[in-house]
Amino acid sequence: MPFDTNQPPRRPWEEKLHEATSRIEEEVSRVVKYVDDEVLPDVRRSSSAALRAAAERLAQLAQHLDDKASADADKGQK
């Protein structure tokens, strides 16, 4: 560590805290990168597949409701 004349010398515990803080910042950066690169793409793929399945099921339900309404209308005309 370069000597800085504007800062008083650090006590040993301050130096250890500074080192630990630097390591924590590095680890947090790695975790964020991992989540961005590895986790989110899988979540997005899974989410889009789930939305497609839900959309298909909703289309089936809408068709069922249309069929029922049509059948009820046909009964009313007879």
- pTM (2 decimals)? 0.50
Read off the pLDDT of residues 11-56 as tens digits, 9 standing for 90 and up: 999 999 999 999 999 999 999 999 999 999 999 889 999 999 999 9
Banded pLDDT at 73 (limits 50, 70, 90): confident
- pLDDT at position 1 over 70: no
Instruction: Give the pLDDT band (50/70/90) at residue 78.
Output: low
The Cα-based distances of 43 to 10, 30, 37, 53 in angstroms read 45, 19, 11, 15
**Residue 18, C-beta contacts closer than 8 angstroms, at least 6 positions apart:** 10
